[in-house]
């Protein structure tokens, strides 16, 4: 019912501000540093993804841009574990462990697909992936 912005578009930013700015007694709750580190690591990952897929100064034009994406996505499991462990809640910790294991198993399959596509495309450049497979929907319809 209480949404921030038009149709709740700014709700995620309001939740982020509430999570980071919320007062905690850091000397008494030492694990809160770990939870805050996990949240900040997730924010850094969002910024790294925007550098990879940004417009003019993006990393997507480099020859190893797909590997940069895989390296950035592999850090997400650690940030989820830190955020869950620093929350002082057993349910959130168990769900963060489950989410981290799910992301690791997804990343293993995704890495195999990216390596196979790189072997077919002869490189790890994301722009080459786009130009090489623009008509692949004709071969593999959904």
Phi/psi at 127 (5° precision): -70, -35
- DSSP 3-state helix, strand, coil percentages of the chain (rounded to 5)? 70, 0, 30
The predicted pLDDT at position 29 comes to 60
B/e letters for 79-101, b = 16+ CB within 10 Å, e = fewer, are bbbbbbbbbeeeeebeebeebbe
The predicted pLDDT at position 105 comes to 86
Q: Are 99 and 87 within 8 A, CB to CB? A: no
The predicted pLDDT at position 137 comes to 61
Q: How far apart are CA 21 and CA 64, in angstroms?
A: 37
Q: Are 68 and 62 within 8 A, CB to CB? A: yes
The predicted pLDDT at position 65 comes to 77
Instruction: State the pLDDT confidence band at 133, using cuts at 50, 70 and 90.
Output: low
Contacts of 53 (CB under 8 A, 6+ apart): 60
Structure-model confidence comparison of residues 117 and 79, the more confident one: 79
| Residue pLDDT, tens place only, 93-119 | 888 888 888 888 888 888 888 888 788
Structure-model confidence comparison of residues 41 and 12, the more confident one: 41
Q: How far apart are CA 118 and CA 99, in angstroms?
A: 28
**Tokens 């004709």 identify what position?**
138
| Residue pLDDT, tens place only, 30-78 | 667 788 888 888 888 888 888 777 766 666 677 777 788 888 888 888 8
CA angle, corner 113, sides to 109 and 119, nearest 5? 145
The predicted pLDDT at position 72 comes to 85
Determine the average pLDDT of the residues in 87-93.
Answer: 79
The predicted pLDDT at position 134 comes to 63
The predicted pLDDT at position 66 comes to 79
């Amino acid at each position: 019912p209480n949404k921030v912005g038009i149709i709740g578009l700014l709700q995620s930013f309001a939740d982020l501000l509430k999570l980071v700015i919320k007062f905690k007694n850091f000397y008494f709750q030492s694990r809160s540093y770990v939870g805050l580190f996990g949240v900040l690591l997730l924010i850094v990952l969002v910024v790294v993804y925007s550098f990879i897929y940004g417009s003019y100064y993006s990393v997507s034009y480099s020859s190893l841009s797909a590997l940069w994406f895989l390296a950035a996505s592999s850090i997400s499991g650690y940030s989820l574990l830190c955020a869950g462990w620093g929350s002082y809640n057993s349910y959130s910790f168990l769900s963060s462990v489950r989410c981290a294991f799910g992301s690791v198993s997804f990343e293993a399959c995704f890495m195999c697909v990216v390596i196979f596509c790189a072997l077919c495309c002869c490189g790890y450049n994301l722009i080459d992936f786009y130009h090489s497979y623009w008509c692949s929907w004709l071969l593999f319809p959904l």
